[in-house]
Structure formats: C-alpha cells, structure tokens
Amino acid sequence: MKFIYSFDEGNKDLKDLLGGKGANLSEMTNLGLSVPPGFVITTEACKEFLEKGQTPLDLELQITLALRKLEDQAEKVLGDFENPLLVSVRSGAKFSMPGMMETILNVGLNDNSVIGLGKVTNNDRFAWDAYRRLVQMFGKTVLDIDGELFTDEFEKTKQKLKVEEDFQLEAEDLERLVQKYKEIIKENAKTEFPQHPRMQLDMSIISVFKSWNTERAKMYRRRERIPNDLGTAVSVGMMVFGNMGETSGTGVCFTRDPATGSKGVYGDYLKNAQGEDVVSGIRNTLTLQQMSEIEPKIFSDLLVIMHKLEIHYRDLCDIEFTVENGKLWILQTRVGKRTAAAAFRIAMQFVDEQLITMDEALLRVSGAQLVQLMFPQFDRSVQKMPITKGIAASPGAAVGKAVFDSKVAADWAQRGEQVILVRRETNPDDLGGMIAAAGILTSRGGKTSHAAVVARGMGKTAVCGAEDIDVNLDNKFAKCGIHTIKEGDIISIDGSNGEVYIGEIKVESSVIVKYLEQGLEQVSTSLKPDEVELVTAVDRLLKHADSRRQLEVRANADTPNDAKIARKFGAQGIGLCRTEHMFLGERRLVIERLVLAETDLEREASLVELLPLQQSDFQKIFDEMDDLTVTVRLLDPPLHEFLPDLADLKVKAALTQERGQVNLDLSKLLAAVQRLHETNPMLGMRGVRLGLIIRGLYNLQVKAIAEAMALQTAAGKKPKVEIMVPLVGSYMELSIIRSEAEQIIAEVESKQQVKLPITIGTMIELPRAALTASRIATVADFFSFGTNDLTQTTWGFSRDDVEAEFFSPYLEKGILTISPFETIDAEGVGELIQIAIERGRKTNPDLHLGVCGEHGGDPESIHFFHKCGIDYVSCSPFRVPVARLEAGRAALESALIN
C-alpha cells in the first residue's frame, strides 16, 4: 500500500488521506506557489499504527525514498555536517483540530550539524536558537517531559543574564542552554537526546501518530463530534526560517476580516521569528500594513498570493508564511474560521463577485451561526469578573433586578421594570414570571430542564444549574460565596457562557431580531453600513433557503402574541398550540374543580365556565394565523399539575388537627388528592388518558375549537385547524376520542350552518405508538412526532434529572456525543420515527407528517427529518428563521448526495 505522497502528488480533494494540511500543501505546490518541498504520510499509516501498535512494515522504506526525493529538491541532506536539511513534522487530520496534536520543528539538528548550520548561514546565534527549540520541543512532545522544566530553565537564563527578550540571548548563551536542556532530558527521560537525525524523524512521526489519542484530542473530537477512527496524517517538510535576521520574519494573514467579513488585508507579521512566536503572543507583532512599509516587495508578493488563493478556493483563506533572507515561503493555507456575522457577509460577497452560486452560499452558513446573530450579547470590552458560572442554557445577555417570585416578576415588569427571575428551578406555574422576565437564573437543572426549554422557546436568556448560588425563596435573597443578592438588586446573566455578574453589564442588541420584527427596508434606515450589509445578507439567504426547502416550517405558539411573532419570523402555521398554558392562574381553580368533581352537576358547572374562555383563546390565535394552519394539542400535562400540592395539604390538615379543629372541606380535598396521587405522574394520568377518564374535558376543548373556527369563518376569515390528541399508545384510544370529536364538530356545523374541515391526528411520543403506527394511521389524518417525550420513553430518561445526574460522565466516556434532547438520536429514536412513517403511510398513503418537539428547531435534527420524508417541522417562534435556513440547506445537501 502507498503510505506516502510527495507534495507534488496530492491535491485538496484528498483530505481523507492526506489530512487538511497535507492536501492544501499539495494543492499550493500544484499552483506553483513557493511551498517548501516535502511529503505526507497518510492517515492509513496512522490508523494501522494505532490498531496494531507498530508502523506498517514498508513505511520505513517509503520514508527513506521520500526523504531522498526531498533532499534532491532541497539540495541538502538530513543531518549533513556542513549544510544540513532540517524538517518539520506536523499533524494534520481531515478536520481541523487546532493545537490538539503535536508538531516538532528543526528535526535533523545535532551537536555536529548545528556547527555547520551556523557556518553556512554565517549566523551562529540562529543555529543554536534552532537547536534549542528542537531539544525543547522534542523533550516535551516526543519524550513527554513536563514543558515547564524547559521554560523555567529558559527564564532562569534570561534572569541570570539580565535580559528581557529571547532575541537578546547570544549564541554562547543558547549553546549553554542546549546543554541544560539535554541534561533535563537525561534526568527525566532516562535517555540521551538522540543525535541520529533519522531516529529523531522516526520518533517524531510516532509521536504525532500517538497524539491522535491524547486526552485533549479525544475531548476536542467529542465536543466537535469528529469520528475517532479517522487518524491523522503527518506532513514532513523542509524547514525555512524566519529567525535568520532582520531580512527574515514570519506571519499569518487572512484574505478578509474573519471577525466582521469586511474586505481588506488582515494579519500579523513578526521580524526575526519563527511561527510559534506569532501564535504564542510572546512578542508584539506588526500589522500587515506596517509590514508593507518595511518589506514593500515581500508585501506586494504576498498580496498576489492571497488573491490567487482566495480565487482558487473561492473562500476566505487563512495563510501562514515565512520570509527567509528576503524570500517569501507559503507554509500553510486553509479555509479560514470566521464569526457568524462574517460567515453571512462573506458568503454574499462571493456571490456578488460571481465566485460562488446562491446554493453554495447557503451551504456556507448555518443555523447555529444564525442563532448567534439573533441573541443579544454583552459588550466584551467591559472588564468584570463573574461571581459564578452555571450552564449556558439559552444564549443571550440579560440585565435586570433580581426577583424570586413569578407574580412579583410579572407585577414589576408591568410597571416597566427589567427583571431577572431567580429560582431554584421553575415549573409551569412560573410561566407568567418567565414571560415577564428579561432572563432566568436557576440554581438547579440543566440544558433540558423546564427553565431551559421554555426559555429557548421564548428566546429568553437563561443560566441554569448555577450550583454555587443558594436561593432562599422565603426571605427573597440568594447567597453566592461572599455575595448576597437581594430582591431588587441588579444582576447580569450571560446565557452564551453561563456567567453571572453583580451589577449591570452593557448589552448590545441584535440587529437581526430587529430586522425580523420590522422588515429589511424599515430597519435599514437606523443601521450602520456594515450592519445593513449583514441584515441584507441574512435576508437574501433566508429567502433563498425558502425557495429551496421541501420542509414546511411551523411554530410552537400558545398565545396570540407568540403567533404574531411566529408569523413575522416566517412561520407557515402553528404546528403545536399547547392548551395547558391556557389553564394557569385563576383558571386553575376551575380545572381543579372539574378534575375533583363528584357529580355531573359539579362537572357541568365547570365546563360551562371554561367553554367561553377556551373559545376566546382559540379565536384570538386563529385570527393572528388567518389562512395558516393551527394545530391545537388537547390537554396533555400530568393530573397533579391541576391539583393542590399534596405535601401542603398534609401540613394544613396536621395543623388543623393540632388545634383541635375540624375542616370537612380540607379533609375531603386531602382524601381526593391522595386518591389521585401518582408515584410517576409523567407516565400516569396525562394526555389522552385525561380525555378518556375525565368526562367532558376533551369534548369541551373540541367544542371551543369548533365554535371559534365557526365564528372566524362567519367573520370572513379563513381559519385552518387541526386537532392533535397527545400521548396515544393504542388505536382504540384515538378511535374513541376521534369519534366523539367528529360528533361534536358535526353538531357545531349544524348549529352554525357552516362547514368546518377540521382534521384530527395524534402525537407519536411513545415507542408503542411508533410500532403500531399502521393501525393508528387508519384513524389519524396526521402524525406529529413529539420527540421530547419519545426520547424520554425510548431511553428511559427523565429529562429533568438525567442531565445533572450523569450526562457529563456519559459524554466524557463517549457513550453520548451530545444530549439526545438537543439533537435527535438517529439510531434509536430516529429508527422509531422511520418505522412509524413507513408503517403509517403503508395503511394511509395521505398521512401528513410533522415534528413538534424541541428537535424541530435543531439544525442537525432538521437534516434528519428531511431525509425521513417529514412534511413539516414546528419549533419555537425564535427558532423559525433557523429552521427555515437549515431546511433549505438540508434540501441542497440531499441533492448533492443523490
């Protein structure tokens, strides 16, 4: 097998084999740029080494032949005493893993060749500095010696000689330092620094192979979700030196500003230095503009190369270069990393420059980047230390007065106060306060806790699981170390990194949200030119995504205001209108009486009171979404959420008894709540079971929906309505509810003399429902996959508990690569979805399919749903633009694959 490719044999399309670095070095060589000659050892060699614990049998021979070719090209010999060839040995995987693996420079120097190098360059200081760097780097990376030992010795030498900068050390000083370094190696590695150049090379190559499996590399791959079986290539190239004097130097440049996307020349240059000096920041660099003044010819040549590479790659390029005695060498290029704002601006710049198509531009941005642009951010120029750090649950920046009660939050917000709701954790009764608050801070929970899920859905900033904060709800204060936060104190929370601050941090608002709310034309009048360019780029790419996508994008919206925002953000309907939020506050007492009713008369009284309220709720939402589909989910939450707290009732009963009093109503209520109490309410009386057991509950909602639709129709509107039955696990459950619903709809049609084309379907959120989808589909017009509960019931996870309990070790051990509540588990939950689709459409070819869980707004999950043949995804209003963008990208990527 061929394990080695010289730079003139490869190209940029061989990243799987040559890694990103090797493939791009080969590509630049083919373009005729001044790239130091070299060769690449393939990822296949690395994989065989990692699998068998030794290098392939013929790799050593192939290295020898490649080295001979390199020596011919360089007109130097590795280890030669008079004019030695020195090489760099660098890692380079298919996907960029900056700083995660090893690099060894100046390989080939020894006690003899360092003297020859000094003579041939007429620069003894340079030669000994190169040798010093090799011994230090080799000891740390190849022999695994603590790098601080070398650093400490270096600093001692400078202190002894009373110099501050590295370059102030003379050749004799560096020679003595090399001897000290070799002593450190002998003492700590129990071996001598190898003098044979080929041994140095072979050991360096093995070190790079091994660095694929260092803890930091594995951790990085887990975080970036890079497969563990790819391996790294190794690039071996002729060293060129920027530290040979005043006519030498090294630098990094970008063909456009990676921070903003602005056109121009951006980068850093350092005279008389090697590459790591620029990256490490140990010396102040010059800008490229300053470089143009001291090296005008080199700068001019660099501009030509930058332009050539950008045109060739048709993208922003990140370029590393070295100047050796007045000659420019290009050491590396790659498509440059950029901020979210730069990504959108640069994509459209290249379209306007006719270098890429709109389809290519859409594939160069992502939903994750759009999310970053939509959340407000703190001004990073403000220097302030956080008091603690929790889980970054919902991005953005929020500043306000700390409040510890949801009603207080709503009241204060009503009078114009900005508030941060501070709780141990939140529950559905906190919704009013959560809506009113600028941000949410909890001391418990994680990314999938109630606070986090609701906050993301509303586009609210949230920090959860800040365990250092002790929240005292009774006395309305919180302690965090030496700090006390009292009600009314100003605090700031950063949902992008989980940091919590005392006092106010300046917030920069998002121009993208303003554009989505106001429209491009209106918002542009108040923006700076670069902001106008950004919002225009986002607008063009969103519209192009809309023209390409096959998935319809709806929103999860429970209120008229949610519906209005969803429509502004481009939603094509409501895919999930949750009705449980309509029963909070004062209405909770009414639903409580309905649940606890013992007679038909009591039950009917509650239903009569609730009907006009529900009808009004639905009519307002239908009005906002006129001519767009609204999918109303019938009541779903566990029974206990409609009942008084059992523990509170027991305390009240005990106190009453202790006083020798008798309270028959309290005793009766306690008995009823105890009778209905459930050990595991999330798997108990909820969803369709409520509708079947609590007589009249679902019929009330269906009647309210039908009458609201009839009134809208009579008013000349065009309501489009679907009724969705939750938590169905059996064909008979849905069949019974459907039959009753159709009868009620027919009665309203007859009474109002109007046709109400209401479709009825179900959520698929139980494994049994997915497996029996062929039968359930015979009584369903549509399926909507409730992926939150489907994930819980498939994994056997409690969403509110598992993240804090064991997600971190699961991620560290590689059992999970990401939370299955964030991104769909394609192998498990996804398989159930595909089974349900196949079986459902087999018996009902016209079955409409949607997704209404949190995954409907997750970029990676959207691509999976596109492949499955889902008709629509539904997500929070704030996520609608993200889903639109990713649905368009999914269609393009699918077309490329096929």
Q: Which amino acid is at 290?
A: Q
Q: Is the Cβ–Cβ distance between 761 and 737 less than 8 Å?
A: no
Backbone angles phi and psi of 233, in degrees to 5: -85, 165
Q: Please tell me what DSSP assigns to residue 110.
A: -
Residue 483: active-site member: no
State the angle between helix axes of 197-210 and 59-74 in degrees (0 to 180), rounded to the nearest 10: 120
CB-count burial class (<10 Å; 0-12, 13-18, 19+) for 89: buried
Tell me the two tokens of residue 707.
């009458």
The SS3 assignment for 494 reads strand
Tell me the two tokens of residue 714.
């009579």
Backbone angles phi and psi of 839, in degrees to 5: -75, -35
Inter-CA distances, 444 with 308, 390, 448, Å: 54, 9, 11
Which sign does the torsion angle of CA 651, 654, 656, 658 carry? negative
Residue 852: active-site member: yes
The SS3 assignment for 655 reads helix
d(CA 169, CA 538): 53
H helix runs in 245-295, sequence order: 275-280, 288-294
Q: Is the Cβ–Cβ distance between 553 and 575 less than 8 Å?
A: no
Q: Is the Cβ–Cβ distance between 638 and 682 less than 8 Å?
A: yes
Q: Is the Cβ–Cβ distance between 850 and 327 less than 8 Å?
A: no
d(CA 113, CA 111): 6
Q: Please tell me what DSSP assigns to residue 35.
A: P
Inter-CA distances, 86 with 6, 78, 224, 586, Å: 17, 6, 34, 80
Q: Is the Cβ–Cβ distance between 709 and 719 less than 8 Å?
A: yes
Q: Which of 464, 852, 868, 875 is catalytic?
A: 852
The CA-based angle 454-639-764, given to 5 degrees, is 65
Q: Which of 450, 855, 863, 866 is catalytic?
A: 450
Inter-CA distances, 296 with 271, 300, 555, Å: 14, 6, 57
Q: Which amino acid is at 21?
A: K
Tell me the two tokens of residue 701.
């909602």
Tell me the two tokens of residue 325.
């005695």
The CB density around residue 155, as the number of other CB atoms within 10 Å, is 10
d(CA 573, CA 807): 35
H helix runs in 167-295, sequence order: 171-189, 197-210, 215-224, 275-280, 288-294
Phi-psi region of 849 (alpha: psi -120 to 50; beta: other; left: phi over 0): beta
Beta strand ranges found along 390-487 (DSSP E): 391-394, 397-403, 419-423, 439-442, 461-464, 470-472, 477-480, 483-486
The SS3 assignment for 210 reads helix
Strand partners, 463: 392, 441
d(CA 820, CA 831): 13
Phi-psi region of 669 (alpha: psi -120 to 50; beta: other; left: phi over 0): alpha
Active site residues: 450, 852
